[in-house]
Amino acid sequence: MKKEIELLAPAGSFESLHAAIQAGANAVYFGVEQLNMRAKSINSFALSDLAQIKKLCSKHSIKTYITLNTVMYEHDMQILKTILKEVKKQKIDAVIAADFAVMEYCKQLKIPVQISTQANVSNIESVKFFASFSDAVVLARELTLKQVKQITNEISRKKIKGVSGNLMRIEIFVHGALCMAISGKCYLSLHTQNSSANRGACNQNCRHAYKVIDQETNEELMIDNEYIMSPKDLCTIDILDKIIDSGVVILKIEGRGKGPEYVYTVTKIYKEALKAIEENNYTKEKIEQWKIALEKVYNRGFWEGYYLGRKLGEWTENPGSAATEKKVYVGKGKKYFSKAKIGEFVIETGTIKMGDSLMITSPDFGIHTQNIERLVVNGVDATVAVKGDSITIPIERKITSRDKLYKIVEA
């Protein structure tokens, strides 16, 4: 029997949600309000957005998973119930949970649950334990593919079924940031800035450069790399066949804090790779091309994580992203002339010129890229536009004042 593989993309905003849909994701995950691991991110969704998210996803037959995976305190119980009631009402497909209170409430309300990677599930007995609360488990990111395969084999052999009566489904991360702490359970940020990663407020101390100095001798210890706590990002595009072979059925892309161009590019490429595998057409040349394309969006350099059993030691050499391209903000949308298919924008900073490659991000359609082939500045044909100018360009997308205009340049 052929397994349906589900590609699960992050959606931290309506822009990213649209980008995930555009790129062909089978499912999306997102958080609302403060009880999710990206609570600090500026564009998090509100509870009142759930209806719209669901509507949009239903239209495209995409599954919706909501993250409720922070540490839960006593004072969170009421808001948790309020959120879950809305989740039930909107028929969100599952809740991603790590705390037992969340699992228990979901059980009472008959809401499907997926066990978060925060729960650090690393063996079949844990899967069995969680099976009475859930239908899917996101395994610990630190397992090797061999260990993953043992778990999926055992699920089939022992017929371990979840709440729905179907066999437990296994999910793993295939792309995105990794962190030095096991299953994200890190206290660095809490210790240094009172800012708990486990409440979605990670300050990313691990991404800084550090020196190690011997206090007695004042000597600086030799270490290979100053970024001693910042692992490179996970990328499995070249071992995706092995990943599928391990028996997992949900492939998750990290990045709810990242932009729509990241969500679009990564989702699209993994989707293509999955198709290639299915069609027996997963070639070295293609993998090379995909890698180059993935390097264009946010990344800290790539490695294949712990899946092949390699020792930890792939540290990033970058304080930020090693992406080969970056987007530079230049202005925002103003209006759209539907008949003529012309969009108007106001340049707020920098310049743009003929031939530039533009990207527009929008809460209504996700992302759109195109080169400038015709440019009208303040009503007359021109080759350059600067700050303060109002420009119009032919474009197929309906532009509104909520859209942002970027220029794509080499990083």
Partner 1 sequence: MPNIIHYRDKCIGCGICYEMMPMVWRMSKKDGKATLLKSELKKKTYVLQIDDSLVEDSKKVAEACPVKIIKVNK
Binding residues vs partner 1 (CB under 8 A): 33-35, 39-40, 73, 75-80, 82, 193-196, 199-201, 203
Shortest distance, position 237 Cβ to partner 1, whole Å: 34
Shortest distance, position 35 Cβ to partner 1, whole Å: 7
Nearer to partner 1, 188 or 405 (CB): 188
Shortest distance, position 290 Cβ to partner 1, whole Å: 36
Question: Which one-letter amino acid corresponds to residue 319?
Answer: P
Paired with 351 in beta bridges are 386
Nearer to partner 1, 74 or 381 (CB): 74
Shortest distance, position 187 Cβ to partner 1, whole Å: 13
Nearer to partner 1, 162 or 200 (CB): 200
Nearer to partner 1, 43 or 144 (CB): 43
Nearer to partner 1, 34 or 150 (CB): 34
Measured in degrees and rounded to the nearest 5, phi and psi for residue 352 equal -135, 155
Nearer to partner 1, 35 or 170 (CB): 35
Shortest distance, position 75 Cβ to partner 1, whole Å: 4
Shortest distance, position 76 Cβ to partner 1, whole Å: 4
Nearer to partner 1, 78 or 280 (CB): 78
Nearer to partner 1, 70 or 316 (CB): 70
Shortest distance, position 86 Cβ to partner 1, whole Å: 13
Measured in degrees and rounded to the nearest 5, phi and psi for residue 150 equal -55, -45
3-state SS string over the chain?
CCCCCEEEEECCCHHHHHHHHHHCCCEEEEEECCCCCCCCCCCCECHHHHHHHHHHHHHCCCEEEEEECCCCCHHHHHHHHHHHHHHHHCCCCEEEECCHHHHHHHHHHCCCEEECHHHCCCCHHHHHHHHCCCCEEECCCCCCHHHHHHHHHHHHHHCCECCCCCECEEEEEEEECCCCCHHHCCCHHHHHHCCCHHHCCCCCHHHCCCCCECCCCCCECCCCCCCCCCECEEECCCCHHHHHHCCCCEEEECCCCCCHHHHHHHHHHHHHHHHHHHCCCCCHHHHHHHHHHHHCCCCCCEECCCCCCCCCCCECCCCCCCCCEEEEEEEEEEEEECCCCEEEEEECCCEEECCCEEEEEECCCEEEEEECCCCEECCEECCEEECCCEEEEECCCCCCCCCEEEEEEEC
Shortest distance, position 106 Cβ to partner 1, whole Å: 17
Nearer to partner 1, 39 or 181 (CB): 39
Shortest distance, position 100 Cβ to partner 1, whole Å: 17
